[in-house]
Amino acid sequence: MSETTLKIKLFGDPVLRKKSKQVREVTGAHRDILAKMARLMYEQSGIGLAAPQIGINETMIVVDVGSGLYKLINPQIVSSKGSQAIEEGCLSVPGVCIKVKRAKKIIVKAKDENSRAISIEAEDLLACVLQHEIDHLRGKLIVDYASFLDKLKIKNKLKELEKRLRSEKLPKQETKSCKLQL
């Protein structure tokens, strides 16, 4: 059986705006998808990736900020406090960086790839990345956090991404130098 190559969906693809469905039962297929998502995230030099970004409408994310890989199913933020604002990039919106205000500390409850319940206390960078990826599961992108001025600045870039999507001529992912490439 040939292996399907995963591709990151770009801004303008409707799958990025859909609310993801909860995973009812974790299967071998879910574990396989999470492994492929992690490989793709590393290949693209990202530190987080959500299933909608590869066209899968299920609540799964992978995250690695340098302290180890998390493969999470049905993640939910159950507690948050404090605030931080970090400039973020996104693999689905290449070339765009937006300063996003998020909670500084969070607690996330989820299932791991073996269907075990886990709880993650995260702060700073890990908290930011988890919130970013969980946003994807709700159909929310970093551009939704953009100020009016930022929206004017990125307007042409977003039109270009939508045009590329329509023509399906997608060159290798380009990145702008953002502090975080998620």
Residue ranges making up the domain that contains 61: 14-181
For residue 7, is it within any domain? no
For residue 128, is it within any domain? yes
91, 173 Cβ separation under 8 angstroms: yes
For residue 76, is it within any domain? yes
Q: Which of 134, 124, 122, 178 is nearest to 154 (CA)?
A: 178
As a whole number of angstroms, the distance between CA 9 and CA 67 comes to: 26
What 3-state DSSP class applies to 143?
A: helix
What mean pLDDT do residues 94-108 have? 96
- Residue 48 forms beta bridges with which residues? 63
Which are the contacts of 176, defined by CB distance < 8 A and separation ≥ 6?
89, 94, 95, 96, 97
Looking up residue 26, the CATH number of its domain turns out to be: 3.90.45.10
Interstrand relation of 98-102 and 84-89 (parallel, antiparallel or unpaired): antiparallel
Segments of 58-104 assigned E as strands: 60-63, 70-81, 84-89, 98-102
The model's pLDDT over 108-149, given as tens digits with 9 standing for 90+, comes to 999 999 999 999 999 999 999 999 999 999 999 999 999 999
pLDDT at 4: 55
The model's pLDDT over 9-43, given as tens digits with 9 standing for 90+, comes to 999 999 999 999 999 999 999 999 999 999 999 99
Examine the residue annotation and report whether 168 is marked as an active-site residue of this protein. Answer: no
For residue 9, is it within any domain? no
What 3-state DSSP class applies to 130?
A: helix
For residue 4, is it within any domain? no
Q: pTM score, two decimals?
A: 0.89
For residue 136, is it within any domain? yes
Catalytic residue of the set 88, 121, 133, 160: 133
Looking at per-residue pLDDT, the higher value among 148 and 181 belongs to 148
Domain count within the chain: 1
For residue 5, is it within any domain? no
For residue 82, is it within any domain? yes
